[in-house]
Amino acid sequence: MTTPSHAPSHPHYHINGKRPGVDWAATIKDAGLAAFVALLLTVPLVGLRTVDRPTGLGIEARPEEVIASLVLVFLGRLGLGLIRQGMALPVLILALACAGVGLVLPMPTQVLRLVLVLGGGVIALRAAMTVATGRSKLSQADRDKRMDRFAAKVQHASRYIGPVAVAFAAVLPLTPLADRMILDIGILLLTYIMLGWGLNIVVGLAGLLDLGYVAFYAVGAYSYALLAHYFGLSFWLCLPLAGLLAACSGVLLGFPVLRLRGDYFAIVTLGFGEIIRIILVNWYQFTGGPNGISGIPRPSFFGIADFSRTPAEGMAAFHELFGLEFSPLHRIVFLYYLILALALVVNLFTLRVRKLPLGRAWEALREDDIACASLGINRTNMKLAAFAIAAMFGGFAGSFFATRQGFISPESFTFIESAIILAIVVLGGMGSQIGVVVATLLVIGLPEAFRELADYRMLAFGAGMVVIMLWRPRGLLAHRDPTILLHGGKKKPVPAGAAK
Amino acid sequence: MDYFLQQLINGLSLGAIYGLIAIGYTMVYGIIGMINFAHGEIYMIGAFVALITFLAIGALGITWVPLALLIMLVASMLFTSVYGWTVERIAYRPLRSSPRLAPLISAIGMSIFLQNYIQILQGARSKPLQPILPGNLTLMDGAVSVSYVRLATIIITLVLMVGFTILINRTSLGRAQRACEQDKKMAGLLGVNVDRVISLTFVMGAALAAVAGMMVLLIYGVIDFYIGFLAGVKSFTAAVLGGVGSLPGAMLGGVVIGLIEAFWSGYVGSEWKDVATFSILVLVLIFRPTGLLGRPEIEKV
């Protein structure tokens, strides 16, 4: 990264930044106020905990945690205030000293140690970045521009990075590195990348905010599971069927709501997503209700061979067919390649469709709805097409999910899934294909790497979403080159992301 | 008939709760044009603060019920509104001039954060509470019984509504708020501190949501960290139904949603009540996008 990570500054920050001395009174007052707010925030919920006692609900006081958070907030705010007033270097040294003391010396309580190390660390990081880049001399617009240039570079480089990444992904299972865990994480990442790319068609290209994408994922998953359960159809037959059904449901849901704009559209799609989930839960005669469907058949090798050691009647065993030694890993590797191929199909489709009238119309719709209508573009049909195609890809991903898990239940299709997929698209920078990959690595990969911190994973996930939005409101790689230019792009185009 | 009246009262008290939350949505949407996705979580925090306050004053030995309820009400409104203020300050204010999606994503992030924050601090298990205000008012020779809690909910909501209407229509703060809703820039030029007004909007919305949270705690006697999501979506539905930006509309929408839910549960079955609510949302948006009391939105080119 060429610019430091930080939350956007407060409006008065530049004025303060240019002030010569340090306004101690104001800084301390500011920090004190922040600490007071922290006191009000923490007293009821952090300081007092409900505990289950045999006699009923009891309560427990945790004053030390309140004090710890107060000290953290006070010092943190003080440190930030001083950094803003050009005292970054002393703050850095002090913060490092604090963190060091916390690490080395014995502390009376664990909480105090945490305060010192964590608080010192964060402040030191911030101060170090200020010292290193002289950020305080840059305005918000400058930083935006810098970041945009960086994003543009990444996008241009994606011409080379893309194939390299695909090649890496393709070779990965063949390397000795690939054990069960790595492949599973790879499959998970690729599933979300595929979903992100699928949703990107609706959100990034057509500019429709869909909060219920998981509904189509669910339709795809349940289509396969139910078709296999009731009719014994194979995965390869069900995959297109699931896509078709999901696309149909996309048209069905999309038709009435596409007239709506912006946030209303978002909330209706959320409603639809919930309706589908509630139907799955309540229609237990058909869908198995909250218990879900188990024993979903695993995919065969294109209907030719099976991955189990002793395949069913009339089916060859994969390892015998290819003269390999039996390994349970074969199935995983096959699944990995399957989802890789599916994801690449979505990517290829998006890259190609942007050059077709349909894709052009989507991008035009995203930029200006009314102008499009004036130019004679059939808005409803265009949006419906985006909705249906994205739904179809969601359906593919869903049936892949079902066959991979072997078990599905409505639990897997809650709103939070939609939020995660949307977060991937928006954090990556809407419409950016490589942004989706980067965001998936961040949003899914990082929490996966910190699996042990299970409880704090979603906490950090939520906080991370807020922080990234504050830092880069347009997404990490939000730079957008116009797909088409006047005069064949001889004039230097103004980057869309830099426009104010 | 008795059954009908019973459901009517259940629906009204439920609707009062939805209405109180919906006001927070509608005010914020009116003034900064964003769906405050974390508002449902604010309501959940209100319920938790009320629960903790009750346990705390119980531990301190205050047992006189009216006093306990008053302390609960004040504490949960106070502490919850600090949460509302902080959420706005941290997650929304820096994004005020950003593209529309940014605050929404930030709000979704905040909502996930707050949910897990409560889950980690207070535990994932649902929190039961023995009835604080037991007893029923029986009407029509015992055919219809109204619990005091539901009655109190309706009364408190009515009182709050009257107070709130006066606040919006008569005070300078209310005037400033209405001015900001119409034109933030102009209001700023005329000396209204727009940031402060927006902050106060969040504070008021959070305080009302806290009351709703406390009422839910009293009526149902059990809360968990996940109650905010569904209540939030339903209340937003109520706000949309009433017409986003309209305060009486939010209350009306809340009551309508509450009644639909109560009657649906009473006559059809409780499994499908959420589908009924969401279907209403979809139908209203399709056939009357401005809601029952909303002004038509003029599309500017």
Higher pLDDT, B299 or A190: A190
Whether residue B239 is contained in a domain is answered as: no
Q: Round to whole Å and give the CA distance between A194 and A200.
A: 10
Range from A174-188, A345-359, A474-488 that averages highest in pLDDT:
A345-359
Q: How confident is the model at residue A464 (pLDDT cuts 50, 70, 90)?
A: confident
Contacts of B285 in chain A (CB under 8 A): 257, 260, 264, 267-268
Q: How confident is the model at residue A295 (pLDDT cuts 50, 70, 90)?
A: confident
User: What residue segments make up the domains of chain A, in order of their start?
Assistant: 13-138, 162-496
> What is the ipTM metric for this complex?
0.87
Whether residue B181 is contained in a domain is answered as: yes
- The nearest alpha carbon in chain A to B301 belongs to A370
Mean pLDDT of A342-350: 91
Looking at the predicted structure, is the pLDDT value of residue A435 above 90?
no
- Other CB atoms within a 10 A radius of the CB of residue B287 amount to 8
State the DSSP H helix or E strand holding residue B3, giving kind and residue range, or none if neither. Answer: helix B2-32
CB contact under 8 A, B113 and A37: no
Could you give the 3-state DSSP secondary structure of residue B300? Answer: coil
Q: For B109, which of A45, A257, A465 is closest by C-beta distance? A: A465
Q: Report the gap between the CA of B122 and the closest CA in chain A (Å).
A: 6
Whether residue B77 is contained in a domain is answered as: yes
Per the structure, the count of domains in chain B is 1
Span B213-256, pLDDT tens digits: 999 999 888 898 889 988 998 898 888 888 877 888 899 999 99
Mean pLDDT of A246-268: 81
Whether residue B109 is contained in a domain is answered as: yes
Q: For B286, which of A46, A51, A257 is closest by C-beta distance? A: A257
Whether residue B290 is contained in a domain is answered as: no
Q: Report the gap between the CA of B139 and the closest CA in chain A (Å).
A: 33
Contacts of A213 in chain B (CB under 8 A): none
- Provide the pLDDT for residue A10: 45
CB contact under 8 A, B75 and A257: no
Contacts of B121 in chain A (CB under 8 A): 45-46, 49
CATH architecture of A162-496: Orthogonal Bundle (1.10)
CB contact under 8 A, A278 and B275: yes
- Provide the pLDDT for residue A136: 52
**Percentage of chain A lying above the pLDDT 90 cut:** 11
Whether residue B59 is contained in a domain is answered as: yes
Mean pLDDT of B29-34: 85
Q: How confident is the model at residue A64 (pLDDT cuts 50, 70, 90)?
A: confident
Whether residue B119 is contained in a domain is answered as: yes
Looking at the predicted structure, is the pLDDT value of residue A498 above 50?
no
| Range(s) of the domain holding residue B59 | 15-225
Looking at the predicted structure, is the pLDDT value of residue A283 above 70?
yes
Q: For B108, which of A274, A419, A473 is closest by C-beta distance? A: A419
Whether residue B144 is contained in a domain is answered as: yes
CB contact under 8 A, A43 and B79: yes
Mean pLDDT of B134-151: 78
Q: For A57, which of B90, B98, B127 is closest by C-beta distance? A: B127
